[in-house]
Amino acid sequence: MTRMLRTSKLEVPVAGRHRPAALARALTAGAVATGAVCALLLAGVPAHADTASAAEPLPLERLFDNRAVSDDARPEEADFDGQGGSFSAQDLTAAGWIPGRLLPIDGAPLRWPDSRPGRPDNVRADGQAVRLGGRGDALSFLVAGSSPGPAADVAGGTGYVRYRDGSRTRYHLRAPDWRHGPLTTKAVGLPHRNTGSGQRTETTRLYVVTVPLARGRELSSVVLPERQGYAGELHVFSLAVRLPSNGWTGSWGTSTSGYAAVGPWTDRTLRLIVHSSAGGPRTRIRLENTFAQRTVRIGHATVAVQGSGAATAGRPVPLAFGGRAGAEIPAGAQQFSDPVGFRVPPDTNLLVSIHLPQTVRALPVHSYSNQVSYLSADGAGDRTGDRGAAAFGEKLEGWPLLTGVDVAGGPGSVVALGDSITDGERATPGANGRWPDLLSRRLLGQHTVPRLGVLNHGISGNRVVTDRYPGAGTSTIKSGVSAEHRLERDVLAQTSARTVVFFEGVNDIRAGTTADEVIGALKRMAALAHERGMRVAAATIAPCGGFFDCTAEAEAQRVAINRHIRTATGVYDAVFDFDAAIRDPRHLDRMLPRFDGGDHLHPNDAGMKAFSDAIDLRKLI
């Protein structure tokens, strides 16, 4: 899911077949002796010596040497951690993680091993060479670490990606522990741990971690990290190349901010209102079952231009999923609809209708939308094809399940990563006057730069450094995991994302987080975005003097963060001074009254326009 790693890249040409004898002796069948290679390179061994060629790369499943999953009735048939512990096959089935199933996560087509409980289903990474092809911007690993005790909560090491042109890149991969790793960055959490003495009620975790690839180059193989310097073992269940989303532009997007109890809802239809930025002749939607432990069933889905309220302006266009009318989304996974010939007009409200045929008690949600959506009555059935509004008598204030609308063609997208100010708090409800909306209109109304789509990934209450939502189970706190922990999902994996604008930090400083902590996270996020080829912009934090907890200490931290943003060399590609755009020159800790939404923290419509106008469009590309 999100980053539990830091990467560094080393490119080494590996053309040529003649390997020095000293290096050949340092290799063992099926493994890369990383330390020996480094020593030999320092000793003058030619750079074309390829450390991963001692054994022919094999498909990952041919390398499986560990049993991670057991049937609840036969827990002794698996031993994931060397202490008799294993994942529950029944929990995995409830989550939709069944043998051989495709698990799209953060845009990567990962697949759960096609193994029965008690059979080998993962490999303990130790320099094995894995056959893998394709081109993309990132390589995703489905992993978990196992360790002898709670203190050793991470496993990892350095591996290599080899390309068909003879080059290679180095990556560093870390896998959090399956029992003690953070819940906020997991791909899925399961409610039990099987042991030889019975089942324990304890959350077990699986993670997706991602490393960058050299864009445009075709892979030939991946060398897994050799176990070095960590007490734990790194287990790899699956790996996949995240393919580029060429030919698509993100037109609308939002972030999952939490996992909320609902209803229960039975046989209902959601009718969600979203607002396009870029337009295009074809479309698809993205649904995500983030933070869940169970599958969610989609009966049918449609898309239409909004007429009035919950009524459509024309016949709703049916959507399909892999050629079928409905879909089952595994826990933690996402589902794109098939492309459909529905023209999305730019800067227009759409109605996305989703039928939930089964009883649903909790769903992933974006909690604050600044927009009213609709829901049919219990037992009303599939109303996705309705043109009228009569069936949709209940109002919703958030966006369950739906996280994206893409359009065919276009130049790509810019992602706004932020908090409640970006989310639209205090902008006129339903008017689509958030600063990302206004930025989109500026882009649509000019011809100097490409008309990028604009994706709003603000979450009300979100922080840069600290997780608000705990990452597991239903919660009344729906302010999301930290910006750093959601960077992969909400920025790097977004459709054709070219540029990110960071505008966040006021909630951190109000909660006592120091400027140094926020700056450190911003630097790490910028570095990761740059590794993926993205352009990075940062906006200064707007003033909040007069709000009840915007203390003198918080102001000092804000000033320090803004000083960093304005003066940092080589960290950001562009700086947008949102602070200067709305501050009162006589009271620098406060916004001008004409921009104040009434609480001294959130700007009004005029303040949103001031933010949008402060962006130099030429610096977005």
What's the CA gap between 531 and 500, in Å, rounded?
Answer: 13
Q: Are 598 and 426 in contact (CB under 8 A)?
A: yes
Query: Which three-class secondary structure state does DSSP give residue 522?
Result: helix
For residues 187 and 38, membership in a common domain is answered with yes
Structure tokens at 255: 């972030």
Where does a domain end: 357, 385, 407? 407
Residue 250: inside a domain, yes or no? no
Question: What's the number of CA atoms in the CB half-sphere (13 Å) around residue 151?
Answer: 1
What's the CA gap between 335 and 288, in Å, rounded?
Answer: 6
Q: Are 107 and 284 in contact (CB under 8 A)?
A: no
Cis status of the peptide bond prior to 20, with omega within 30 of 0: no
Residue 455: inside a domain, yes or no? yes
Question: 434-448 burial string, b = 16+ CB within 10 Å, else e?
Answer: bbbbbbbbbbbeeee
Sheet strands (E) in 472-511: 497-503
Query: What digits encode the pLDDT tens for the residues 37-66?
Result: 232 222 222 333 344 445 799 999 999 999
For residues 301 and 320, membership in a common domain is answered with yes
3-state helix, strand, coil in the chain (%, to 5): 20, 35, 45
pLDDT at 21: 29
Give the distance between the most distant pair of CA atoms in the chain: 79
Helix (H) or strand (E) holding 15: none
Our count of domains for the chain comes to: 3
- Measure CA 594 to chain center: 36
For residues 417 and 316, membership in a common domain is answered with no
Structure tokens at 3: 């980053």
pLDDT at 54: 52
pTM of the model: 0.91
Q: Are 213 and 138 in contact (CB under 8 A)?
A: yes
For residues 567 and 441, membership in a common domain is answered with yes
Per-residue DSSP letter, 56: -
For residues 454 and 537, membership in a common domain is answered with yes
For residues 524 and 604, membership in a common domain is answered with yes
For residues 49 and 155, membership in a common domain is answered with yes
Residues of the chain with confidence (pLDDT) below 70: 1-54, 149-153, 229-231
Which structural domain range is residue 362 located in?
258-407
Query: What digits encode the pLDDT tens for the residues 563-590?
Result: 999 999 999 999 999 999 999 999 999 9
For residues 482 and 610, membership in a common domain is answered with yes
For residues 231 and 276, membership in a common domain is answered with no
pLDDT at 246: 84
> What's the one-letter identity of residue 437?
D
For residues 114 and 137, membership in a common domain is answered with yes
Query: What digits encode the pLDDT tens for the residues 332-390?
Result: 999 999 999 999 999 999 999 999 999 999 999 999 999 999 999 999 999 999 999 99
Residue 226: inside a domain, yes or no? yes
- Percent of the chain whose predicted confidence (pLDDT) is above 70: 90
What's the CA gap between 28 and 46, in Å, rounded?
Answer: 19
For residues 448 and 498, membership in a common domain is answered with yes
Residue 153: inside a domain, yes or no? yes
From 254, 105, 112, 120, select the one nearest 186 (Cα to Cα). 105
User: For 607, left (φ over 0), alpha (ψ -120 to 50), or beta?
Assistant: alpha
Residue 252: inside a domain, yes or no? no
Residue 249: inside a domain, yes or no? no
Residue 4: inside a domain, yes or no? no
Q: Considering just the CA atoms, what is the radius of gyration of the chain in Å?
A: 25
> β-pairing, 574-576 with 535-539?
parallel
CATH number for the domain harbouring residue 436: 3.40.50.1110
From 400, 362, 355, select the one nearest 381 (Cα to Cα). 355
Contacts of 119 by beta carbon, 8 Å cutoff, 6+ apart? 67
For residues 341 and 387, membership in a common domain is answered with yes
Where does a domain end: 374, 407, 440? 407
DSSP states of 79-102: -SSSSS-BEEHHHHHHTT--TT-E
Residue 62: inside a domain, yes or no? yes
Structure tokens at 87: 């994942």
What's the CA gap between 575 and 122, in Å, rounded?
Answer: 45
pLDDT at 103: 98
